[in-house]
Amino acid sequence: MNRTDRLYALVEELRAAAPALRSARRLAEGFGVSVRTVERDLLALQEAGVPIWAEPGRTGGYTIDSRATLPPLGLTVEEALAVAIGLGALANSPFRDAARSAARKVTAVLAEDDARRTARLASRVHLLEAGDRAPAPTGLAGALTGGRVVRMRYRDAAGNDSERTVEPLGYIGKGEDWYLVAWCRLRDGIRAFRGDRVLAVEETDEVAPPRVVRIEELDIPHGVLRPVLGE
């Protein structure tokens, strides 16, 4: 049994036994592998977001939410490499923590040989960066997904600091730069805030009102906007 099949089988074994516990030794014997291998597999599943819990002690073991299952990814090495490159390109973005977590989850459910091959190929791909940009605050990622009004301290191109209350509408990425597109209450209009110029972010409890953004309102002089998932 290869690792991918074993990961699925581990989930189903724990799900069938839940809420009873299964020790790593019992699981290892059932799958014909070492205890260490089972423990690595269980850790990989946990890192992939599968709700597995460990109970310590002599009578302890592992259990799972009985509703859980592991959906098949079915990624080829080329697809996994593309995902790794795409996530790696987010290193300066507000989404970098989520990107690292997603990369670990993808790797965790790949077959061992595919994971090694993907890592080997990914080590040959590099991104050329100027290296003079501070990463955008990760708090900006939650600004959009949380749907809340945000207060932030912003430094403009002239070096002037100001306090802004904004309603997040979206993001624009250009090279190493990431811009938060938002309705600025100070300016009473849509503005784009460059991520590395955001000095502090605080998400409020106020739900941002719905607004529609039209591309022509963004007044972008160079380049063409493209949605991340294509047309």
Q: pLDDT tens for residues 54-86?
A: 988 888 899 988 766 555 566 889 999 999 999
Q: According to DSSP H, which parts of the chain are helical?
A: 3-17, 24-31, 35-47, 77-88, 96-108, 112-122, 139-145
Residue 229 counted as domain residue? no
What pLDDT, on the 0 to 100 scale, is given for residue 31? 92
The mean predicted confidence, pLDDT, of the chain is 86
Please give the single-letter amino acid code of residue 65: D
What pLDDT, on the 0 to 100 scale, is given for residue 211? 87
Number of structural domains the chain divides into = 3
Residue 227 counted as domain residue? no
User: Are residue 48 and residue 83 in the same domain, yes or no?
Assistant: no
Domain with 110, as residue range(s), is 77-122
Kind of pairing between the strands at 189-194 and 177-184: antiparallel
What pLDDT, on the 0 to 100 scale, is given for residue 209? 92
Residue 103 counted as domain residue? yes
Residue 105 counted as domain residue? yes
C-beta of residue 139 within 8 angstroms of C-beta of residue 148: no
Mean pLDDT of the region 108-122: 86
C-beta of residue 204 within 8 angstroms of C-beta of residue 216: no
Tell me whether the omega of the peptide bond preceding residue 72 falls within 30 degrees of 0, making it cis: no
Q: How far apart are CA 154 and CA 130, in angstroms?
A: 22
CATH of the domain at 196: 2.30.30
Question: What is the 8-class DSSP label of residue 130?
Answer: -
Residue 128 counted as domain residue? no
Is the pLDDT reported for residue 47 higher than 90?
no
Strand partners, 164: 152
In the structure, how many helices (H) and strands (E) does the chain have?
A: 7, 7
Mean pLDDT of the region 151-162: 95
What pLDDT, on the 0 to 100 scale, is given for residue 174? 84
Q: How far apart are CA 153 and CA 163, in angstroms?
A: 5
User: Are residue 213 and residue 143 in the same domain, yes or no?
Assistant: yes
User: Are residue 89 and residue 153 in the same domain, yes or no?
Assistant: no
